[in-house]
Amino acid sequence: MAISDLKISVSGIRATTGDTLTPQLILKFAMGFGTYIKGGKVVVGRDSRVSGDMVKNAVFSGLLATGCEVVDLGICMVSTVHVMVKKLKAKGGIAITASHNPVEWNALKFVNKEGIILPPEEAEELFNIVNNEKFINVSYKDIKNIKQDFSGKETHIKLVLKNIPVQLIKNKKFKVVVDCVNGGGSETVPEFLKNLGCEVIALNTIPDGIFPHHPEPLDKNLTQIKEEVKKQKADIGFAVDADADRLGVIDENGVFAGEEMTLALAAYYALSEFKTSITTNLSSSSILDWVAQKNNVKIYRSKVGEANVVKLMKSKNSGLAGEGGGKVIFPPVTMSADSLSAMGLILSLLALKNKKISEIINEFPKVYTIKHRLETGNKNVYYILNNLKKEFKDENINTEDGIKIIRDKGWIHIRPSNTEPIIRIIVETMSQQLTQEYLNEVLNKIN
């Protein structure tokens, strides 16, 4: 298969393994990355997918061929790769993970020496090297040995603990149910919570990549943990995806808080405690605007994609960032989405407020959001978007990332996905009926 069959974006590259994501293509991208950083130390970690060893060994070959010193972190959280790039003063890192995608997918995420996902301009340089196949090839004398370093879990946990009020949380002795989906966070997440004095009921903690359900932490996928939270009479439930960058929150009644609520809850604590601005993307909920206004701080919005959010976060010096879908970026720990940071901030909020999680959630304004996936078939995505720009030209629109229509009673964001061959349509208003009406309006115009 050709490189054009891959999904290439600011999130890295991803595809289904075996047919599109072949060892040959993985090798090219690993050689491209080794060439881009001009050799040096590179840390590599992977989630637990069954294709992980195949992908990892192809990555190792490409890096070694370009003179890199490879450090194997083993199975770990994606944010642990970012943390270890900084700790080991590496020239970069590669995380092998398709995050929330189903088991047949895998992906490469590229991290620079600052411990952040490659910014768009750096990613473009890398992809140009791969497309032109202008790789470094070192002689046998310059091929290094692979080193192993499995201390990432401990390093990561200690870093988060250093930046949250540990004793405040310990005093509450929270009972927490966590679903690790047999993914990269299966060991780290329960251990982190135990370090906070929590009574931990851990589900699906064998990192064999056999996901017990779809790994994206959405309501429809979380039946098991919702029932377990109620059964155990737990204070809160946490669900992570395959590489533990996304976090879903379940309240004490076994109700999923909503994928937009993770960042909002973390922000409710962080913006109040640190009086910092927040950076997010154009698709994230307007609840974040309410949290920012409540704390008299600014909110900044970028194009969708962690690389875009981090780039703007750095330029604005925001102390918190993230995206809807359960991604929280807490710079004192790492400038990548990190569920440990998200859990730590949310438990800090729970301890500080001394209320049930459902009571805290009820303090937020009620909004109704629909996230619609539109399979475009043979239709050209950009042709559809250009037509919609003409249809809505008389309204208040933002065209930085697809098209966002901003109205007095809500908003509509229509954009091509960074990770899948679809159009995403996100609609949010204060009324369930109006949200559906806005979605129907857009779908009718497309049809």
3-state DSSP call for residue 258? coil
The label of the residue with tokens 């991803």 reads 14
286 labelled catalytic:
no
Q: How many CB atoms lie within 10 A of CB 314?
A: 16
Query: What does the DSSP 8-state code read for residue 21?
Result: B
Long-range contacts of 116-119 (CB under 8 A, 24+ apart): 116/82, 116/307, 116/310, 116/314, 116/335, 116/336, 117/10, 117/11, 117/12, 117/82, 117/306, 117/307, 117/310, 117/336, 118/10, 118/12, 118/307, 119/307, 119/310, 119/311
The label of the residue with tokens 């076994």 reads 254
Which two structure tokens, joined as six digits, stand for 158?
């200690």
The answer to whether the beta carbons of residues 138 and 162 sit under 8 Å apart is: no
Which two structure tokens, joined as six digits, stand for 260?
């937009």
Instruction: Give 181: exposed, middle or buried? Use CB within 10 Å, 0-12, 13-18, 19+.
Output: buried
DSSP per-residue codes, 63-123: HHHTTEEEEEEEE--HHHHHHHHHHTT-SEEEEE--TTS-TTEEEEEEEETTSSBPPHHHH
Residue 193 CA to residue 344 CA, distance in Å, equals 9
Query: Residue 139: what residue type?
Result: S
Reported residue count of the chain is 447
Instruction: Give 317: exposed, middle or buried? Use CB within 10 Å, 0-12, 13-18, 19+.
Output: exposed
Q: Tell me the pairing of strands 7-9 and 92-96.
A: unpaired
Instruction: Give 381: exposed, middle or buried? Use CB within 10 Å, 0-12, 13-18, 19+.
Output: middle
Closest among 333, 335, 339 to 321, alpha carbons compared: 335
The end-to-end CA distance of the chain, in Å, is 32
Catalytic residue among 99, 186, 277, 286: 99
Q: Tell me the pairing of strands 299-302 and 278-281.
A: parallel
Residue positions annotated with a catalytic role: 99
